[in-house]
Structure formats: C-alpha cells, structure tokens
A = this chain, B = another copy of it.
Amino acid sequence: MTARQRDFSTPIDPVKLDRLAEVAVKVGLQLREGQDLLLTAPAVALPLVRRIAEHAYKAGAGLVTPLFSDEEVTLSRFRFGHGDSFDRAAHWLYQGMAKAFGANTARLAIVGDNPMLLSGEDPVKVARASKANSIAYQPALERIVNFDTNWNIIAYPSASWARQVFPEDAEDVAVAKLADAIFAASRVDSDDAVAAWDKHNAVLRERTEWLNGQRFKALQLFGDRAPTLMIGLADGHEWVGGASTAKNGITCNPNIPTEEVFTTPHCRRVYGHVVPPSRCPIRATLIDNIAVRFEEGRIVEATASRGEEVLKQGARHRRRRAPALAKWRWCRIPRRSQRAGCCSSTRCLTKMPLPTSRSASATRMLCRWWKAHARADSRRKAATRASFTSTG
C-alpha cells in the first residue's frame, strides 16, 4: 500500500498502521528467523495485531501468540467482583510467559488502554489487584528487566485513550489526531521508516557517547513549581538509549517511540523535591497534586490531594524500605513531538527497562512526573533547566 491509497472512512491511516507493524518487527524486535513471538495487546488493537502477525511471519517467526486484554472485562471485575477476587492473579499465565521468554520467545507489548480506566473505582480494590498482579507477573517481568530476550513496546490509538487526550473532539477526530501523533513520534510517517530509525539510533548513540565522555558526577534540576532536585550519578554509570543488545544477542529497540537517553543514579545521593504541575495517571487512577521529597536517595515524603492511597501502595508493596530512584532519563523532546502535541503522552505510557528491578513503580511514577513537568514547561517556554556537574 502507498500513502495515496489511504481509506478516509477510518480515522487510523492503514498505510501508517502497517508501517508501524513493520517497524515493530524489523526495528523494535529485530525478530529472527524461527523465533516465536508473544504479543500482548488491548482487544481493540486487533487491526495492528493482524499487521504485526503478517510482518512477523514474513520475517520467519516460528509462532505468533497474541494475548488480549479488554477494558470492559477489567471494569466488570471492579464493579461486580466479590471480595476475594482482588487478591487473585493468573500465576499460571505469567509463569508460562516466563517459560516462553526463557526459551528465546520475543516479546511485543501494544499499549493503548485508557490511562484513567480505573480512576472511578475503589482505590483499595485497585491497589490490591495491582499488587496481586505485580507479584504474579514477577517471573515474566524479570526476564524482560534482565533483558534475556529481545522486546519492544509500541502504542495503538484506542478510542478510550484518544478521548482522554483530546476530550473536546468528536471520537473519530480524537482517534485520528492520536493516531497521527503516534505515527509521527514513531517515525512511520516517512516512506522508509526502517531507514529513519537507523538514522535516529545513530543520533541517540552519538548523544550517549558524548554524555559518557563527560563523566558527570551529578545532575541538578530546576523547575518553576518545585525546589531544586539534585541527582547524584552512580560511580561508573553509563548513558544508554535507543537500540540495545539483549542477552540472546539480538539488538532491538525496546521503546517505539523513544527520544530518551538514560542512566543510573547513585542510590544514596538524591536530594530535593518533585512536584508535577498536573494530574498524573498511576495504575489507571488519577492522582492530584503529588509532592515528593528525597533525602539520601530515598523518598521520605509522598503526598497527594487525591489518590494518595494508590500512590503510597504502589511505592510500598514490593519493598520494606522507602523507595529510591532507580533510573534517571533525559529526553530531548523533538520538533515532531511538539508539533503532534501529545507524543509525550505516548511515551508516558510506555514502560522502561530498569537497570535494577528495585523501586520500579516509584521510578516509573517519577519518570512520568518529570516528563509531564518538562512538557508543561516547554509549552509555556519556561524551561526546566538541567545543569551538569562535571567530574572533571
């Protein structure tokens, strides 16, 4: 198909959707001949799943196994489920996934659920269900966190998500706008998207090489709503970003889109405050007016005017100590994203490979807050300033 063949009866351009599938398989996963593929997706992302299956089989996939979730099935649980339901999880399924990843199956995740799906549900039930699921998912997640196999996350413009991002538009218009934003950020709006990714990976590599050459000791960040945050960097830290090589030897692009380069903070040298300027979605719940304070690398205060229980549960359930910052990432928001206006949302919903599995929830929250912060600031041109302290 060419761009000229676009069927305007659908808000999602099928040519670009097909290119996104191709990029996921050829760039995101670098799927190898004979490799199986395990794919998770919202049920509404079926059109993208079908395109991915075709590209995967053309690339020589052994077997493509899609696992679908559905927002209405999820909501049924919170609305009609009895008491014990919220402590249950599909251990058998996650253990199976771990086994598949251990046998060199590649993993692709399509995100696209409404980030506010559970914001109207009982936060205690949400926290219990999330905790049970996190515990059950651990064996499979570890295979991904440890980068045992090649993996990739991409986004699909579902209607429920589009309504959240463009609440003032008709649904079709909102979906079209979100789709175009995802396609632009994912670099599938050019005819040779695979070549565009090769070029982008080269730019990110150049950036990480420069940062690694500087041997910075700490980063100091200033915002107009929060006091200073000082992030000490781990001794021997390394900046990485874009394409990475998994332990099975395959060089993949875990996040599509991605603009970030990231590194490991020092676990005892983070001081200061994080105050995001707007509501944040955490575990599909809206959290208002979050304020967090770090001392010696640990969160010592975390408050919110709404959703505080979900916020604290998230930070609490996998550790006994106060959560620490496990990763720091720095994004240059490119012109294409500013033009699209919502690509940062895409990135906010993607999950990142973490250098350590500790404090994952807290870190993801922080990443989101800082992105929201940086985005809001860039919009009003009051820049969040980052200063680099050189080790000299």
User: Which chain A residues have a beta carbon within 8 Å of chain B's beta carbons?
Assistant: 33-34, 36, 43, 46, 49-50, 53-54, 57-58, 60-68, 70, 72-73, 76-77, 79-82, 84-85, 88-90, 92-93, 95-97, 99-100, 103, 105
Contact = CB atoms under 8 A, between A and B. Distances in A.
A84 B53 contact: no
Number of copies: 2
B54 A76 contact: yes
Given A43-B43, A95-B96, A96-B96, A63 B90 contact: yes
Contacts of A34: 82, 84
Contacts of A36: 88, 90
29 contacts: A34-B84, A36-B88, A49-B70, A50-B73, A53-B72, A53-B73, A54-B76, A57-B77, A57-B80, A57-B81, A60-B82, A60-B85, A61-B81, A62-B88, A63-B90, A64-B73, A64-B76, A64-B77, A65-B90, A65-B93, A66-B68, A66-B70, A66-B73, A67-B67, A92-B96, A92-B97, A92-B103, A93-B93, A96-B96
Contacts of A67: 67-68
Given A57-B79, A63-B89, 19 more contacts: A34-B82, A43-B43, A43-B68, A49-B73, A57-B76, A57-B81, A60-B82, A61-B81, A62-B84, A62-B85, A63-B77, A63-B85, A64-B77, A65-B90, A65-B93, A66-B68, A67-B68, A90-B100, A92-B105
Contacts of A89: 63
Nearest to A87: B62
Given A57-B81, A81-B61, A50 B76 contact: yes
A92 B100 contact: yes
Contacts of A65: 90, 93
Given A62-B84, A63-B89, A92-B99, A70 B50 contact: yes
A225 B58 CA distance: 46
A354 B22 CA distance: 44
A77 to B, nearest CB: 6
A54 B61 CA distance: 36
A53 B80 CA distance: 9
Contacts of A49: 70, 73
A158 to B, nearest CB: 13
Contacts of A90: 36, 63, 65, 100
A282 B54 CA distance: 25
A240 to B, nearest CB: 30
Contacts of A82: 33-34, 57, 60-61
